[in-house]
Amino acid sequence: MTDTLVTEVEQTVDAYLARSYGAERRLTLAECHGWDRAFLDEIDDLGWFALAVPESADGVGLPLSAVGAATMSLGRHLVPGPMVERLLLPALLLRHIDGSGPPRHDLPGAVVALVDPAANGTWSVDDDGVRVESGGLVGSMLPVRFGQEADQLLTVAESAGELAVYLLPPQTPGLDIEPVASADPTARLARVTFTEPAGAGITPVLTGSAAGRFVTELRAWARILAACELSGIATRLVEDTSAFVQVREQFGRPIGSFQAVKHTLADMYALARSLRNLCDAALEDAVSSSAEDLPMLAAVTKAYAAEAAVGVCESAIQMHGGAGFTTETDLHLYYKRALALRGWYGDHEELAHRIGDALLAGAGLAEPGDVS
């Protein structure tokens, strides 16, 4: 069932992008780091952002695995913009908001930026997470994708040993959003600072165990989707590189006939294929995974994706020779995107370490900053 669904969604998205989203458009969008309202509206009109939004909020109501399928195609075509944010955040949040609060009909159409300190670990020295203090938010996070462009900031904050989830409009008093230079061709970035106390008096959308459940799923799905996008990138670069080495000639023969080149391509294929199979398996299993198993499943998938896809990119650059290092091909764009995704929510080292820790302790997967 999941299998068929994943294939169908992926094919639909892929067919549209193959038709309407060529190399020239990719370059134009990459030059503005993916911020183009008209393009977002075009995708919105196709209904992709509503795929996993519940029917009660006028969405298509598909399982979240459908978002994974779409994300693989977005990766394959290197589609910039707040895509994962729009595909996932409203859909996931609407599943967790119960009927007791006010309905959030503004969510499906909104550009929501994700301010979850777990996305960046504790890598930034002045980044110490976001906390609830005196009824408002304190802390900062760098980088936040599309922080300045977003209609809402979905913020995960720590509140006296528990989590609280806020939706904050950018005009919230005490909230400072400052653009920073981005090396990710597909995303604009910002530093978000909550000067004390930002958003005082604003009610969180989720608190306590409900917030805990949401955040667990959020982090798991963010990792799975990053892996899916990386899988799309890897698949594409194997195809492109394989085509290139069959036409590029040296010593009077296509370089694809040399064993050193063939073996590199074979390794790239094995990495991309196994990553794809891992993502397919994760999408199939995630929907029915328990809250205890989902974080491990996601961490494993992301850990492998972070290593495998970047490895494929690096080999693709090598196989293209000098041109692979220039901006004459799209390879640098794919590579930079893969590097951006590698670090987001933990790379292979970081995650392998946490996975090992959990297995040895016979416990669940801890997030950085968790009190042990």
Partner 1 sequence: MTTTVDPTLAAELEEYRTLCRSWLTEVRIPDVPLSLTERFRVLREWQGVLFDAGWIGIAWSREAGGQGLSHLHQLVFSEELARARAPQPIGLIGLDVVGPSIDRFGTVRQRTELLPRLLSGEDIWCQGFSEPDAGSDLSSLRTHAEIDGDDFVVSGQKVWTSWAHLASWCAMLVRTNAQAPKSRGISYLLVDMSSPGIVTRPLTQMTGDQEFCEVFLDRVRVPRENLVGELDGGWAIARHTLGTERAAYTLRRRVEYEVALQDAINELSACPTRDADPRRAYRVRSAVGRSHVSLRVLEAQTRKTIGRLAADTGPVPEDSVDKLLLNDIEQQVYGSIADLLGPLRVAPSGRPLGLDAARWAHDHLYSRAASIYGGTSQIQRNIIAERLLGLPRD
Instruction: Compare residues 68 and 256 and give the one whose CB is closer to partner 1.
Output: 256
Rg (CA), the chain: 21
Closest to partner 1 by CB, 106 or 357 = 357
Nearest approach, Cβ of residue 157 and partner 1 (Å):
29
CB of 151: closest distance to partner 1 in angstroms? Answer: 37
Do the beta carbons of residue 307 and residue 341 sit within 8 Å? Answer: no
Nearer to partner 1, 128 or 284 (CB): 284
- CB environment 333-362: b (16+ within 10 A), e (fewer): bbbbbbbbbbbbbbbbebbbebbeebeeee
Nearer to partner 1, 233 or 238 (CB): 238
Measured from the CB atom, the residue of 28 and 277 that comes closer to partner 1 is: 277
How would you classify residue 199: left for phi > 0, otherwise alpha for psi between -120 and 50, otherwise beta? Answer: left
Q: Are 142 and 113 in contact (CB under 8 A)?
A: no
Q: What b/e readout covers 183-196, taking b as 16+ CB neighbours within 10 angstroms? A: ebbbbbbbbbbbee
- In the complex, minimum distance from the CB of residue 77 to partner 1, in angstroms, rounded to a whole number: 21
Q: What are phi and psi of 110, to 5 degrees?
A: -85, 150
Report the nearest approach of partner 1 to the CB of residue 353 (Å).
5
Which of 153, 55, 53 lies closest to 94, judged by CA? Answer: 53
Q: What region, left, alpha or beta, does residue 78 occupy, with left being phi > 0 and alpha being psi -120 to 50 degrees?
A: left
| Least separation in angstroms between CB 279 and partner 1 | 8
Give me the least distance between CB of 228 and partner 1, in Å please.
13
Nearest to partner 1 of 153, 238 (CB atom): 238
Least Å distance, CB 10 to partner 1, is 17
Rounded Cα gap, residues 334 and 215, in angstroms: 29
Q: Nearest CA to 302 among 336, 264, 338? A: 338
Cα–Cα distance measured from residue 37 to residue 21, given in angstroms and rounded to the nearest whole number: 15
Name the residues that contact partner 1, by CB under 8 A. 238, 242, 245-246, 253-254, 256-259, 261-263, 265-267, 269-270, 273-275, 277-278, 280-282, 284-285, 300-301, 303-304, 348-349, 351-357, 359-362
Quote the least distance from Cβ 72 to partner 1, whole Å: 15
CB nearer to partner 1: give 11 or 246. 246
Of the two residues 70 and 298, which places its CB atom closer to partner 1 in the complex?
298
Give whichever of 259 and 290 is closer to partner 1, judged by the CB atom: 259
DSSP secondary structure letters along 250-269: ETTEEGGGSHHHHHHHHHHH
Q: How far is the CB of 363 from partner 1 (least distance, A)?
A: 11
Give the integer Cα–Cα distance in Å for 372 and 369: 9
Phi, psi of 140 (to 5 degrees): -155, 165
